[in-house]
Structure formats: C-alpha cells, structure tokens
Structure 1
Amino acid sequence: MPVPKRKMSRSKTRSRRSQWKTTAAALAACPQC
C-alpha cells in the first residue's frame, strides 16, 4: 500500500487544504456575481 514514509508537517498540510478551499469558494462565487 502507498503509505507516506514521513509524517508531513501540520503547517504544510493545513496551508494546502486552506488554499484549495479558498480557490473552490472563489470559483463558486464568481459565476453568481
């Protein structure tokens, strides 16, 4: 099974998720405006 060998830092994972969420929100909001 593909398992991460090293535990990713919390900040790294959080920054990735937050960015993805914001982009998704922006994409959703733009067509309605």
Structure 2
Amino acid sequence: MGATMWCWDLNLGSLEEQLVLLTTEQSFQPHPP
C-alpha cells in the first residue's frame, strides 16, 4: 500500500512538473500576431 501511494505521489509530481513546464514555455514563447 505504501509503495503504491509513493508511486502515485511520484506520478502526480511529474504531472505537475509537466504542467508547469508547459505553462512556462507558453508564457515565454511570443504569441503570434
């Protein structure tokens, strides 16, 4: 049970990191006119 919860936390963390990377990339990239 503990191992599965730990893996679940890792998956949630990676998803959050991916979302942050996507948002930062979009914010830094210039928007097309």
Query: TM (normalized to structure 1)?
Result: 0.63
Task: Structure 2: give runs of 5+ residues left out of the alignment.
Answer: 29-33
- The runs of at least 4 consecutive aligned structure 1 residues that moved more than 3 Å come to none
Q: CA deviation at 1:31?
A: 1.8
Q: Sequence identity of aligned pairs in percent?
A: 4
Query: Which protein has the bigger helix share?
Result: 2
Query: TM (normalized to structure 2)?
Result: 0.63
Task: Structure 1: give runs of 5+ residues left out of the alignment.
Answer: 1-5
RMSD: 1.8
